Structure 1
Amino acid sequence: MNAPTTALAADTSVDAAAPLDAFQVIAAGDRLCATQGPQQAAALYQQWLAGSTSPMRHVVQFNLGVLYGQLQLHAQAEAAYRAAITSKPDFAQAWFNLGATVERLGRKEHALTIWQSMLDHPLVTPTHQKDLYLLVVNGMGRLLEEMRQYDRSEVKLFASLLAEPQQPKVIQHWVHLRQKQCSWPVFTPVPGLGQGEVLKATSPLAMLSASDDPGLQLATSIRFITEKVNLRVPRLAPEKGYQHDKLRIGFLSSDFCLHAVSLLTVELLELLDRDRFEVYGFCWSREDGSALRARVVKSFDHYVRIADLDDASAARAIREAEIDVVVDLQGITSGARPDIIAHRPAPVQITYLGFPGPTGHPCIDYVVADRFLIPDAERPFYTETPLYLPHVFQCSDRQRPVAPLPSRAQCGLPEEGFVFCSFNNNYKFTEAVFASWMRMLQAVPGSVLWLLADNPWSQASLTRRAGEHGVDPARLLFAPRVSPEQYLARYTAADLFLDAYPFNAGTTANDALWMGLPVLTRSGRTFASRMAGSLLTALDLPELITTSLADYEARAIEIATQPALHADLKQRLKAGRTQSPLFDMPRFVQDFGDAVERVAIRG
């Protein structure tokens, strides 16, 4: 969606009788590039341009820009494209590449301005240079999404789909943008596209929120792997394993930083028994300078940064370390590198935490689970074999720092009245669950709903929807994003956490329960819809697990209107913090280690 257009061999907009010296130099440049490299070809173009007044200069200048881009000389590429445009102001391909180049130079707003000017003049339209038009609107949509300007991004991608509906990648981003903005129904009609085609193109992550059908989630993941992952690569690890005195576990992730995965796993990494295991971290995480990242990196016996390695080289690094068991903490979420796993760099490969659903990856052997999370009846909807832990699938961190506890007033909450909250990412919200929340507010006078201020478009959509349900929008309160310590502390100002469905809270539910806030969930058939129920089962709080929207709604109203029931739940949750398996990390680490040893292959 954002690659510059390639070098030109000819310009069909010029007269065939134009001088051919430009074409000759381009042909010579192509030969030089193939035999001696782009530097030599660029030198040839520069020499020719210095002495030529050909009306075809713009083509050579464009090709020079492409060569500079290949050489990562983006400032020189920008100058070459601008020269091409000066020579031929309506040279649409040069305008597009100029936008892509200034984006690479970090001037994102400038790139958007350049591309928008191509639409305004117009140099490209859905019927004139359609392929380039799609590159422009898709590039703008991608960049606007990266800049979190979701509304503008959605408009551009929808324009792209109107011009050419059969674009699965564009559909994928468009659907998730609508989820992020709580634009319901998410699957709104697109001319030329059936709902089945839109569903088929939906990403695995978006599907976790879009459907509670385990078969559909599995099919989506398998399609993703089939389209994205090269499975025709040689196996690296020996099938019979190794003969190490201590089992070598390699954790694989881009999230060894201030991220939910690290917030959960850091104490597991620290407490793994070094008499039994040697622990490796293979990382392509951002260097965010956080205390959490420093703590995670310190927890490894061997820390290997693979950010600068391609997938094949990263897989070889794992093989060369003779890792017995790879634990992939990424799955098929954003930033994943599933091609590493496709090389089979370890004899046993496990997925854990990163993606709460079936990965569809044939090279993943096991998924860490518990009996509540993946009951026997749902095992057919997983390509992985469940690796069952005896108590709970999710690890925790007992050392997570907490800021001083705020008052309700400091949180912007009313002093009186019941406070429902849901700090899930807004893309997990669905129209049906939100309608249920509105009925709860109507049934509990003086209550409010405290939500995460995820983005201004979801906030506007939710407040508008509240009014449509007959609820004063002022009863929806939005909490800004804050540091993890402050985020944890403010849970103590709420009364009941309302879980999302079908994509439950994961780390968020763990945090709320750790801080003593009861979590009310609805459990379905999918992994994502059973996460919070797993945690509540470990806490022996089955009253907080419902299996239908009607029961979910009735239970919330019951808890909010019966102070004795609410107090009892909070007291039992407080006891569970010290007595339940959920937060007993030494026991969890023992269970996890036993499970890994159970499936490891020793030569």
Structure 2
Amino acid sequence: MGLMMVKRMTKKDLEKAFVAHKSGNIELAYKLCKMVLKRKPQEADALHLMGVVVHQMGMTEKAFDYISQAISIKKENPIYYNSLGIVLKEVGRYGQSIKCYEKSIHLSHNYADPYYNLGTVYHALKNLEEAIGNYRNAIRINPSFAEACNNLGAALNEIGNFSEARESCLKAIRLKPDYPEAFNNLGNAQKELGEIEQAIRSYRSVIKISGECAETLGNLGNALCEAGNYDDALETYNRAIAIQPSNGKLYNNLGTLLRTQGKLDDAVACFEKSIRFMPHDVEAYHNLGNVYYDRSNYKSAIACYRKALTVDPHSVKSMINMSICFQENGDSNMAVDLFEQVLVLDPENEKACCHLVHEMYQRCQWDLLEPLNRKIDRFTYKRLKKGQRPEEMPFLNLIRCSDPSINYKVTQKWSDLLVPAHLEPRDNPREVQYEKSTKKLTIGYLSNNFKNHPTAQLTWKIFGLHDRKQFNVNVYSYGEDDSSEHRKRIKSDCDKFTDIKLLGHWDAANCIYHDQVDILIDLVGYMRNHRLEIASLRPAPIQVRWLGMAGTTGVGFFDYLITDRIVTPSEEAHYYSEKFIYMPDTYQVNSGLFNESTTRFHRQDANLPEDGFVYCSFCSSYKIEPKVFDLWMNILKSVPKSVLWLLKSNDTVVSNLRKEAENRDVDPSRIIFAEKMPKENHLERLKMADLALDTLSVNGAATTSDALWAEVPVVTMKGTHFASRMSASILDAIGMEDLVCESQEVYEKKAIELGNNPLKSNILKDRLRINLVEKPLFDAPRFVTHLESAYLKIWERYQAGKKPRIQHIKDTR
């Protein structure tokens, strides 16, 4: 065979090899390349193509050899360097791969492929800035480069530029309509932009194009969770796990969903599986800690957060949550130390700042309050202005801020976290009209405090006082069973007591729904360990808020708030999501003591002066703030031999308040601390005081009633929101409204006047003793009669198909 014939055959076979490779016939391309190289071993293009083909066949080392030989023959071919870069990247030789791509670019600036491939290496190395720059160069050279548009979208997602990521992925899809990876990245961008329904459609497009895979199903499950479609999300996660049963991330996401639903046992099982498959994953340990926190098992929660921090010592969120556990568990020093460590690592961390301030209030440690409060004000204002949820908790905002408009905005944004109602229409009680005109109404009380707690101490009598000719009384408890007399009495006095502590939110709501509760009354609000998620599922046609947190919940699923005209004047109704039920006397019921104390107390037993005037305030320590403490110290300085009698929370509070007294030139020994004791004994002991001084931003509620029950008058100042008007309402209901002051100056003056005038103080006490019998504050049967009138009135309105509106309950006795 002649030389020319060999050249023609070689050229023809090489062209056929290129065609075969392009059409995907790798085997034929391999055979043809082999034939060409047998005839002409130094044919560079054949060596290069052979290297590409064997690389695709999984023979990486041979690929490297073939392409390297091609480069040794044609050193200036940019395509060869690009192909060698691909081979090197696959075996993890990123540095050499980068050099190959850079050489290819140097040889040809208008060649898009090496820019794209260089972008993929930097992407793998998490150098996103370089990756994005190279993807952009590839698209500049070849605007129709769909893969580069998709990868650019993925990288933009990773740096949080979701809007541009979305546009880049959409361009990739326009160029290549059946591009599953682009739809997946588009869905990721849409989910982060809050375009949840669009994200769901994008993930479903991936499945339609390429079938089900664990990653896409996981992403779809996440989007369904965001949309509140929990049943579909649950089913989707399970499908993903069936495909990839050892995927720890899927178990983590499923556990997060189950925790959201309140299915804590199932959530624990998922997080434990996640840890088994991903033993070095911070998220699973952190999330398992969150479940233990939900159960108030702080010791186990702390152990989980410690493990998360072992994996990642700089996990700020695990450090914060561990701090909160120490806070809840009463280890204030450890909590403060950890919060301060977080703020060293991240000075602008809103959550740590808020919890630290809350703990400072609890400790009466005021030296850092002013700068921290200014910082939180800035954080909260900025978030609200953007329409975002602030990290400041509703209860903390209530303590710090007495502006009801701000309180409302904060609670509104926190309500976005609550589980939305996803019962089918046929299961929604609002779609069902019961014929109740001749039947008894079923009312349900929901709380975690049916135990020895101020809520139960105030309400225990009402459950037996309800008129059984008109009402069935159900109680739903999701708190601990402390076997206290209060819990036992409530259980015996209601018609049905259901412990829903171990039920998830949906199952708890379903339980209430199937009991056909007509009016559900939540007694908690945004207080510790609340489960407002249950009420968010609308298990009852009418839902009412009462007691618990003194303010609005900011949610749409409570129709009414039991209140009075003093704590919530009508001109502030627009700061509440609930319609007011105005009780004729006061919002607060008082059941009185369970048992009378058999112990008799003497002042000397409590280290109180026999002949000095005793001021007292037995409120929680967080309510004592600098401005009220200033007043109290001024009062002591103006009333010789007087003392201030406070409840001992802990040694830190004692030390801090004594130091603050000394700073105000008051002898610290004039502040006397009382140990905690059973309620009946405490109220008997309280009778040794002459006058109770109320706190300002958050008044005493049960503590004000306690003082009055013990025949101790209370001086208060009427504030500007619910929490700072509670004592004004209570004093009005016992006919002692003259002790309600309009300013701090009047408050101070009145307390001094009574302290310096024992006769006037005794006359005031005598009047209080009479009013205890004659006025309505401690008349629980009267309160229940008014409460029942309210229930009947709102039910009648509901039955008539009318929307909730303000209700004024008349005095019917």
Whether TM exceeds 0.5 here: the answer is yes
Distance 1:77-1:288 versus aligned 2 partners, 3 A rule: farther
Q: TM-score, normalised by structure 2?
A: 0.60
Aligned partner of residue 544 in structure 2, secondary structure:
strand
User: Aligned partners of 2:238 and 2:465: how far apart in 1?
Assistant: 59
Alpha-carbon shift at residue 553 of structure 1 (Å): 0.7
Q: Does structure 1 conserve the Cα–Cα contact (< 8 Å) formed by 2:523 and 2:545?
A: yes
TM-score, with normalisation over the residues of structure 1?
A: 0.80
Question: Which residue identity does 1:427 align to in structure 2?
Answer: Y
Which amino acid counterpart does residue 500 of structure 2 have in structure 1?
I
| Residue 747 of structure 2 corresponds to residue 552 of structure 1 | yes
Match of 2:358 in 1: 176
Cα distance, 1:590 vs structure 2: 0.8
Instruction: Report the alpha carbon displacement of residue 33 of structure 1 after superposing the two structures with TM.
Output: 9.0
Give yes or no for contact 2:543–2:557 (8 Å, CA) kept in 1. Answer: yes
SS at 2:430 equivalent: coil
The residue aligned with 1:515 is: 710
Partner of 1:485: 680
Unpaired stretches in structure 1, ≥5 consecutive residues: 1-14, 18-26, 43-67, 85-90
Aligned to 2:384: none
State how far apart, in whole Å, the 1-side matches of 2:288 and 2:443 are.
Answer: 45
Describe the SS at the equivalent of 1:493: coil
- Indicate conservation of the 8 Å contact 1:512/1:519, yes or no: yes
SS in 2 for 1:238: helix
Contact 1:161 1:190 in 2 (8 A): no
- TM superposition shift of 1:574: 0.5
Contact 2:282 2:311 in 1 (8 A): no
> Judging changes above 3 Å, is the alpha-carbon distance between structure 1 residues 459 and 303 closer, same or farther for their aligned structure 2 residues?
same
CA deviation vs aligned residue, 1:433-464 (integer Å, no higher than 9, x gap): 11110100100111111111112222222111
1:424 is matched with which residue? 619
Task: Look up the SS of the partner of 1:593 in the other structure.
Answer: helix
Superposition pairs for residues 12-161 of structure 1, below 5 Å? 34-35=241-242, 70-71=268-269, 130=314, 133-161=315-343
Q: 1:380 aligns with which of 562, 574, 592?
A: 574
Assess, with a 3 A threshold, how the Cα gap between structure 1 residues 459 and 452 changes in structure 2: closer, same or farther: same
- AA matched with 1:487: H
Q: Distance in 2 between matches of 1:385 and 1:180?
A: 32
The equivalent position to 2:346 in structure 1, one of 164, 176, 180, is 164
What amino acid maps onto 1:35 in structure 2? A
Name the aligned partner's letter for residue 550 of structure 1: E
Aligned to 1:55: none
Question: 2:592 and 2:483 mapped to 1: Cα distance?
Answer: 22
Equivalent positions of 1:31-430 (< 5 A) are 34-35=241-242, 70-71=268-269, 130=314, 133-165=315-347, 167-184=349-366, 187-189=369-371, 195-197=377-379, 200-230=390-420, 236-239=428-431, 241-244=433-436, 245-403=439-597, 404-430=599-625
Query: Over residues 121-150 of structure 1, what are the superposed CA-to-partner deviations in whole Å (9 max), with x where a residue is unaligned?
Result: x9755xxxx4xx314422431231122111
**1:554-587 C-alpha deviation (Å, 9 max, x unpaired):** 1111111111211111111101111101112221
Cα offsets for 1:473-531 (capped at 9, x unmatched): 11111112211122221111111111111111111111111111111111112111111
Letter in 2 for 1:272: H
Say which of 767, 770, 778 aligns to 1:572: 767
Answer yes or no: is the 8 Å Cα contact 2:450–2:487 preserved in 1: yes
Who wins on radius of gyration, i.e. which is larger? 2
Alpha-carbon distance in 2 for matches of 1:312, 1:32: 22
Offset at 1:363? 1.1
User: Does structure 1 retain, via aligned residues, the 8 Å contact 2:418–2:536?
Assistant: no
Counterpart amino acid of residue 318 in structure 1: I
Pairing 1:459–2:654 present: yes
Aligned to 2:787, which of 579, 582, 592?
A: 592
Query: 1:99·1:110 contact (CA, 8 Å) conserved in 2?
Result: no
CA contact (8 A) 1:378 1:525 kept: no
Structure 2 residue runs of 5 or longer lacking an equivalent are 1-90, 94-214, 216-236, 249-265, 382-389, 801-813
Q: Judge which range, 170-179 or 262-271, deviates more.
A: 170-179
Partner letter of residue 351 of structure 1? Answer: R
Q: Partners of 1:529 and 1:395 in 2: how far apart?
A: 18
Match of 1:9 in 2: none
Local SS of the residue matching 2:472: strand
Alpha-carbon displacement from aligned partner over 1:312-334 (angstroms, at most 9, x marks no partner): 22112222111111111111111
Larger RCO, structure (CA 8 Å, separation 6 or more): 1
Letter in 2 for 1:539: I
Q: Distance in 2 between matches of 1:427 and 1:362?
A: 30
Q: 1:36 to 1:179 in 2, by over 3 A?
A: same
Q: How many residues align?
A: 536
Is 1:602 the counterpart of 2:784? The answer is no
Q: CA, structure 1 residues 93+530, in 2 after alignment: closer, same or farther (shift >3 Å)?
A: closer
Against the structure 1 CA distance between its residues 490 and 166, is the aligned structure 2 distance closer, same or farther, given a 3 Å change threshold? same
Q: Secondary structure at the residue paired with 2:498?
A: strand
- Distance change >3 Å, CA 230–CA 170, structure 1 → 2: farther
2:39 matched to which residue of 1? none
Q: Which moved more, 1:218-227 or 1:193-202?
A: 193-202
The answer (yes or no) to whether the contact 2:741–2:747 under 8 Å persists in 1 is: yes
Structure with greater helix share of residues: 2
1:34-62 CA deviation, whole Å, 9 max, x = no partner? 22997x999xxxxxxxxxxxxxxxxxxxx
Contact 2:404 2:575 in 1 (8 A): yes
- CA distance in 1: counterparts of 2:562 and 2:361, whole angstroms: 28
Instruction: Give 1:284's aligned amino acid.
Output: Y
3-state SS in 2 of match to 1:577: helix
The yes-or-no answer on 1:471 pairing with 2:678 is no
Q: Which amino acid aligns with 2:269?
A: L
Alpha-carbon distance between aligned partners in 1 of 2:697 and 2:663, rounded to the nearest angstrom? 23
| C-alpha contact (below 8 Å) 1:488/1:515 kept by paired residues | yes
Q: How far did 1:163 drift?
A: 2.4
In the other structure, the counterpart of 1:52 is none
Return closer, same or farther for 1:580/1:192 CA change in 2, 3 Å cut-off: closer
Q: CA deviation at 1:171?
A: 3.5
CA offset at residue 303 of structure 1? Answer: 1.2
Aligned to 2:687, what secondary structure does the other structure show? helix
Q: Counterpart in 1 of 2:167?
A: none
**Partner Cα distance (1:523, 1:307) in 2:** 38
Identity fraction in percent: 29
- Structure 1 CA distance, aligned partners of 2:495 and 2:308? 54
Amino acid at match of 1:146: E
The corresponding residue for 1:53 is none
Contact 1:271 1:586 in 2 (8 A): yes
RMSD: 3.6
Partners of 1:182 and 1:430 within 8 A in 2: yes
Assess if the C-alpha contact under 8 Å between 2:441 and 2:518 holds in 1. Answer: yes
Q: Deviations along 1:326-368, whole A, 9 cap, x unmatched?
A: 1111111112111221222211111001111111121111111
Contact 2:289 2:303 in 1 (8 A): no
More deviation in 528-537 or 148-157?
148-157
The worse-fitting range, judged by mean Cα deviation, of 427-436 and 366-375 is 366-375
Question: For each residue in 1:209-261, what CA deviation from the matched residue of structure 2 results, as whole angstroms up to 9, or x when unmatched?
Answer: 21221112112211211234435666621356422311111111111111111
Match of 1:433 in 2: 628
Distance 1:143 1:152 in 2: 10
Amino acid at match of 1:280: N
Higher mean Cα deviation, 141-150 or 564-573?
Answer: 141-150
SS in 1 for 2:723: coil
Shift of residue 151 of structure 1? 2.4
Checking the alignment, whether the CA contact within 8 Å between 1:357 and 1:527 is kept in structure 2 is yes
Amino acid at match of 2:339: L
Change (3 A) 1:328 1:98: closer
Could you tell which deviates more after superposition, 103-112 or 530-539?
103-112
- Paired with 2:466 and 2:724, the residues of 1 have a C-alpha distance of 29
